[in-house]
């Protein structure tokens, strides 16, 4: 069986748009009839996903797999680092927890993971025509070069040609690209086959003199200037823009608490696409106002973020709104916070053994060392959201004892979550993806205000995402020299 071709997108910095460029290239090649798969050896993110096999991976590679028209596979992201503090992270390898490590411990350990990274890559390469590889951060982090397994180190291991993208939206893109190339070793520079200017706003003709000089200085062609593409997909690099304070003119105001260690914020993307639902992220009590719904999202550190809410005054503000009848929804860690107590006798989250909850739901959570990871189908039981079908997944540590009404019933008969009045809690991520819960929520919240809910698009959330991937691919086809990229792939194959 022949081995797949590959191409790698690296960036001059974190947030340069690598994830989106890789997704767009996956869709372009998929449209052209290639069997294509994404790959990122190491991803640091709190946004994760559970595959059909019950394994955990980064959402960015899930998004890229969707763009490629294939099921997410943990081999696409063999190492996932989930920060749990300023200095420590949970290390997940091939979808399973490998341990908790400080940055220094992981730095010493990661070279041991090279065989597992290569095994995942080679397995994907044996099943596909092309692998689109995403780097991380910048390849010019020369202090990390000796043990790199995600940028030029990986490119060398799999013999990948590299496209280097710079973010013009942040300014200084010529210095970004030239400086990055200048800091690379000679053999690394030879791998860079093209430069990309990303996130441009304006007339690209203005850039032409600078592009010509950049090509002269680096000896590397500029393959295109990609405009700032306004597409609605789960791009990991768009975390900052997704969570920024935004003005909405929609009739329903939904406030999501922006926890310090917020995870899986993409759970709420379907809400943002609904014509009646405005979503904003709040990290201070004076910005909370009087929303129509408050959401407590998932978090990597439930107890630490609950303490932050308590100290910041947000806990008291949310409790006050709840007592006045404002609906409150907690998802995963947010659900755990809404209960009466959280205990951690095994040190799963840290040294704190017990913490009083917000007291808005009649339930108690006990953390345990084992992590629950599973995909489920469910249906809401009772209340204003009754009978809404859910297709979600669980990623959490701990079990919750519920003394009140459950939120939903899983397909295997188990119950999940808790409901008490207008307060709801569930462990299910992706709960809005099916669309039914979004519609019922919009109808209920609009009805409470005496207004008519707008109608969502006739297409499903999945159909909306498919359309966005096509828009992304169209944008890249117009902006990039795809003929040159195909020549790079052909040269790579001839060079083997």
Instruction: Encode burial over 466-483: b for 16+ CB neighbours within 10 A, e otherwise.
Output: bebbebbbebbeebbebe
How far apart CA 262 and CA 304 sit, in angstroms, is: 11
Determine the pLDDT at residue 9.
98
CB 148 within 8 A of CB 114: no
Residue 424 has pLDDT above 60, yes or no: yes
Say which DSSP state 136 is in. Answer: -
Q: What is the pLDDT of residue 143?
A: 85
Number of domains comprising the chain: 2
Q: Can you give the pLDDT at residue 84?
A: 77
Tokens read off for 419: 């409901």
Between 62-71, 150-159, 268-277, 476-485, the lowest mean confidence (pLDDT) is in 268-277
Q: What's the Cα-to-Cα distance from 112 to each of 101, 153, 480, rounded to whole Å?
A: 14, 14, 37
7 DSSP β-pair partners: 132
245: in domain: no
* Judgement on whether residues 328 and 410 belong to the same structural domain of the protein: yes
* Structure confidence at residue 237 (pLDDT): 46
Residue 249 appears among annotated catalytic residues: no
Same domain, 486 and 369: no
Residue 144 counted as domain residue: yes
Query: Choosing from 6, 22, 242, 332, which is the catalytic residue?
Result: 332
Q: Are residues 328 and 436 in the same domain?
A: yes
* Stronger pLDDT, 302 or 248, i.e. the higher one: 302
> Are residues 217 and 97 part of one domain?
yes
Q: Are residues 320 and 171 in the same domain?
A: no
- 345 pLDDT higher than 50: yes
Res. 88 pLDDT band, cuts 50 70 90? confident
* CATH number for 338: 3.40.50.880
Over the stretch 388-415, which tens digit does the pLDDT of each residue have?
999 999 999 889 999 989 999 999 999 9
Whether 238 has a pLDDT exceeding 60, the answer reads no
CA 97 – CA 145 distance, rounded (Å): 26
Q: Are residues 197 and 87 in the same domain?
A: yes
Which pLDDT value is given to residue 249?
82
The per-residue pLDDT for range 98-116, each reduced to its tens digit, is 998 998 899 899 999 999 9
Q: Is the pLDDT of residue 87 over 70?
A: no
Mean pLDDT of 417-422: 96
- Residue among 22, 274, 429, 446 flagged as catalytic: 429
In whole angstroms, what is the distance from residue 470 CA to residue 148 CA?
Answer: 33
Question: Would you say residue 82 lies in a domain?
Answer: yes
Residue 173 within any structural domain of the chain: yes
Does residue 241 carry a pLDDT above 80? no
Give the Cα separation of 276 and 82 in Å (integer). 34
Do 211 and 263 share a domain, yes or no?
A: no
pLDDT above 70: percentage of residues in the chain: 94
> In this structure, is residue 459 part of a structural domain?
no
418 lies in the same domain as 336: yes
170 shares its domain with 277? no
438 HSE (CA, 13 A, CB side): 26
Q: Both 169 and 279 in a single domain?
A: no
Cα separation values, 328 from 121, 422, 438, Å: 43, 6, 15
Q: Does some domain include residue 238? A: no
395 and 275 within one domain: yes
Whether 332 sits among the annotated catalytic residues: the reply is yes
CA 442 and chain centroid, separation: 25
Residue 442 vs residues 321, 453, 465: alpha-carbon distances, Å:
19, 6, 20
User: Mean of the pLDDT values across residues 171-192?
Assistant: 96
List the domain range (segments joined by +) for residue 40. 5-233+465-494
Residues 282, 408, single domain; the answer is yes
Q: Is residue 432 part of a domain?
A: yes
Q: What Rg value do the Cα atoms of the chain yield, rounded?
A: 23
In 187-236, which ranges are E strands? 192-200, 222-227
> Which of residues 264 and 327 earns the better pLDDT score?
327
Confidence of residue 2 (pLDDT cuts 50, 70, 90): low
Report yes or no on 126 lying in a domain. Answer: yes
CB proximity list for 116: less than 8 A, separation 6 or greater: 78, 79, 93, 94
CA distance 335 to 357: 10
Mean pLDDT value of segment 442-465: 82
The enclosing domain of 180 has a CATH number of 3.40.50.300
């Amino acid at each position: 069986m022949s081995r797949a071709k590959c191409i790698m997108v690296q960036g001059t910095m974190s947030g340069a748009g690598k994830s989106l460029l890789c997704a767009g290239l996956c869709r372009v090649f998929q449209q052209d009839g290639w069997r294509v798969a994404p790959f990122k050896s190491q991803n640091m993110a709190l946004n994760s996903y559970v595959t059909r096999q019950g394994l955990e991976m980064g959402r960015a590679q899930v998004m890229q797999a969707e763009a490629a028209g294939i099921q997410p596979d943990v081999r696409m992201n063999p190492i996932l680092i989930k920060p749990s503090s300023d200095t420590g992270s949970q290390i997940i390898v091939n979808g399973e927890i490998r341990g908790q490590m400080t940055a220094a411990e992981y730095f010493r350990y990661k070279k041991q993971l090279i065989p597992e990274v290569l095994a995942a890559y080679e397995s994907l390469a044996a099943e596909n025509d092309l692998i689109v590889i995403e780097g991380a951060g910048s390849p010019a982090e020369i202090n990390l070069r000796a043990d790199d397994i995600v940028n030029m180190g990986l490119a060398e291991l799999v013999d990948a040609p590299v496209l280097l993208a710079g973010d013009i939206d942040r300014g200084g893109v010529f210095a970004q690209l030239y400086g990055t190339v200048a800091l690379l070793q000679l053999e690394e520079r030879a791998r860079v086959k093209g430069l990309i200017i990303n996130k441009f706003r304006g007339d690209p003709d203005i850039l032409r003199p600078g592009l010509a000089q950049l090509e002269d200085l680096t000896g590397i062609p500029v393959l295109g200037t990609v405009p700032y593409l306004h597409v609605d997909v789960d791009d990991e690099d768009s975390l900052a823009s997704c969570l920024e304070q935004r003005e909405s003119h929609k009739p329903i105001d939904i406030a999501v608490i922006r926890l310090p260690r917020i995870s899986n914020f993409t759970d709420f993307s379907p809400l943002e696409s609904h014509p009646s639902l405005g979503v904003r992220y709040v990290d201070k009590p004076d910005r909370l106002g009087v929303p129509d719904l408050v959401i407590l999202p998932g978090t990597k550190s439930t107890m630490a973020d609950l303490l932050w809410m308590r100290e910041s005054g947000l806990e008291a503000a949310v409790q006050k709104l709840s007592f006045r009848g404002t609906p409150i929804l907690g998802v995963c860690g947010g659900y755990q916070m809404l209960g009466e107590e959280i205990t951690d006798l095994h040190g799963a989250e840290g040294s704190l053994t017990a913490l009083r909850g917000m007291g808005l739901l009649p339930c108690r959570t006990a953390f345990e060392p084992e992590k629950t990871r599973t995909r489920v189908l469910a249906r809401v039981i009772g209340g204003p959201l009754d009978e809404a079908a859910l297709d979600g997944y669980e990623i959490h540590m701990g079990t919750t004892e519920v003394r009140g009404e459950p939120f939903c019933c899983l397909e295997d008969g188990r119950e999940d979550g808790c409901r008490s009045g207008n307060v709801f809690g569930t462990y299910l991520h992706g709960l809005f993806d099916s669309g039914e819960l979004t519609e019922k929520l919009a109808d209920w919240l609009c009805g409470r205000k005496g207004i008519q809910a707008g109608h969502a698009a006739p297409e499903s959330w999945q159909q909306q995402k498919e359309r966005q991937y096509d828009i992304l691919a169209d944008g890249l086809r117009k902006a990039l020299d795809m003929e040159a990229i195909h020549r790079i792939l052909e040269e790579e194959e001839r060079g083997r």
